[in-house]
């Protein structure tokens, strides 16, 4: 975010401040200063957590408070962004379609969607990718016989009378919010070293973007 002639990484932290933290982190890593690195890791991960909350989660929650069905497409588009970002954070990659590791955008949905509900699998994720994500991002609509509604009792609801598969943006959002909470808890409180490194790598990719 650009404001007052400065680039901000999140609501309070400037991009230049994040760059300095990363440079310090790299120097401490070379010096094998584990105690200092541990504290700095937590700071960098918290900065990313606050970025996601202020840019996406809080905004979506404010929209949901208004109970306006017209926000369904916008909310589901945010869900799609958050799904891809989650995948990038878990894997420490800059882009979902990382050609170095042969990742495809659809892989993010095949991996993350099953985390949202025990009844979902890779096939569910692929259907979501094709019917919702691709159509919303590229055509500003859902696929044929696919609809969005915050009024359904389940995340994916087969509306047999109309022949539609209905996706609930609100229920998807709450489950996405839940896995983000779990992700950052695992990194900050359970000390998952690989996850911490991957999140910091994503911070680096954003701070030093080309």
Give the Cα separation of 41 and 123 in Å (integer).
36
Residue 109 sits at the vertex; the CA angle it makes with 57 and 155, to the nearest 5 degrees, is 65
118, 128, 194 from 105: Cα distances, Å: 22, 12, 22
Q: How do residues 63-118 score in pLDDT, each as one tens digit? A: 999 999 889 999 999 999 999 999 999 999 999 887 566 779 999 999 999 999 99
Task: Identify the band that residue 138 occupies on the pLDDT scale cut at 50, 70 and 90.
Answer: very high
| Residues linked to residue 101 through DSSP beta bridges, in sequence order | none
Query: In 3-state terms, what secondary structure has residue 96?
Result: coil
Q: How do residues 160-197 score in pLDDT, each as one tens digit? A: 888 899 999 999 999 999 999 999 999 999 989 999 99
The torsion region of residue 122 among left (phi > 0), alpha (psi -120 to 50) and beta comes to alpha
In the chain, count of helices (H) and strands (E)? 9, 5
10 Å Cβ neighbour count for 185? 12
38, 136, 181, 194, 196 from 42: Cα distances, Å: 7, 35, 15, 13, 8
Does the pLDDT at position 13 exceed 90? yes
Model pTM score: 0.93
Residue 169 burial (C-beta neighbours within 10 Å; 0-12, 13-18, 19+): buried
**88 contacts 94 by C-beta, under 8 angstroms:** yes
Give the Cα separation of 39 and 182 in Å (integer).
20
Give the Cα separation of 109 and 113 in Å (integer).
5
How much is the pLDDT for 4?
Answer: 67
Q: What is the number of residues in the chain?
A: 210
**172 contacts 155 by C-beta, under 8 angstroms:** yes
**46 contacts 143 by C-beta, under 8 angstroms:** no
How much is the pLDDT for 190?
Answer: 93
Query: In 3-state terms, what secondary structure has residue 145?
Result: coil
């Amino acid at each position: 975010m650009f404001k007052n002639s400065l680039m901000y990484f999140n609501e309070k932290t400037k991009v230049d401040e994040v760059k300095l933290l990363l440079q310090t982190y790299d120097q401490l890593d070379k010096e094998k200063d584990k105690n200092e690195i541990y504290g700095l890791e937590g700071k960098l991960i918290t900065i990313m957590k606050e970025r996601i909350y202020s840019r996406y989660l809080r905004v979506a929650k404010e929209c949901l408070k208004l109970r306006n069905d017209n926000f369904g497409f916008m909310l589901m588009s945010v869900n799609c962004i958050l799904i891809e970002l989650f995948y990038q954070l878990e894997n420490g990659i800059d882009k979902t379609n990382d050609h170095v590791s042969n990742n495809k955008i659809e892989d993010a949905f095949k991996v993350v969607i099953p985390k949202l509900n025990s009844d979902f699998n890779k096939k569910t994720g692929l259907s979501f990718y094709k019917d919702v994500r691709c159509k919303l991002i590229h055509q500003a609509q859902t696929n044929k016989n696919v609809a969005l509604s915050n009024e359904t009792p389940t995340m994916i609801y087969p509306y047999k009378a109309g022949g539609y598969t209905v996706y609930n943006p609100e229920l998807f959002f709450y489950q996405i919010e839940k896995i983000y909470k779990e992700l950052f808890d695992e990194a900050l409180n359970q000390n998952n070293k690989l996850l911490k490194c991957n999140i910091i790598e994503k911070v680096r990719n954003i701070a030093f973007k080309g």
